[in-house]
Amino acid sequence: MTPETIEHAMQALAKADPDIARALPLVGAPSPRVRDKGFAMFFSTIVSQQLSTEAARAIMGRVNTLLPELHAKAVIDTEGQALRDAGLSWRKIEYAKGLAEAELAGTFSADGLEHLSDEEVITTITALRGFGRWSAEIYLMFSLKRPDIFPADDLALRVALGRLKRMGDKPTPKQARQMVEQWAPWRSVGSLFLWHYYRGEPL
């Protein structure tokens, strides 16, 4: 999403939601976020689960030294102990090997996801071990640049939504999805705004 697209979307969201109209002048529009797509991105997602950004980056640095070309066959051909020595847990190695096996077997295609609908992408990704709906929705938003995704399982997103709506507590994922229905077709930009608001909410 370009800054121009975000600006256009924020104006539409402000018209659709008076709470966004109130908050937008206070914190401004969010910046674009983009991630790579493809097999290596899914491998990196497995590595980063439940780790700090710094720890994940250090492990990926060692993985990239071990596997200069990070693709499915290279992962299958690499001994589990070598991946363990690079810093992956045995559970994450299991997930990474499963991802590579699915890619090689043709039951999963990282490159083929962009030809699927949002729900088909979610179904395909969550069929892999180690990937939940949140991971699938983040991939849709940042790697495939889909405009209408709301990852309601994200804690910061729900905390920010609760604050924006002046609730006493954060909404449940189900409540959050219902609360932002009127943000369609720009729920991805609405999500970006909530993360931005979470960090820069005025006192």
Find the helix packing angle between 187-200 and 18-27, rounded to 10°: 50
DSSP state of 171: P
**Which of the following is catalytic: 111, 153, 154, 169?**
154
Task: Establish whether 19 is a catalytic residue.
Answer: no
| CA gap 84, 52 in Å, rounded | 18
3-state secondary structure of 138: helix
Q: What angle do CA 5, 29, 152 make, to 5 degrees?
A: 85
Give the span between the Cα atoms of 192 and 139, in whole angstroms.
14
How far is Cα 19 from Cα 161, in angstroms, rounded to an integer? 10
- Distance from C-alpha of 5 to C-alpha of 147, rounded to nearest angstrom: 10
Q: Which residues are catalytic?
A: 154
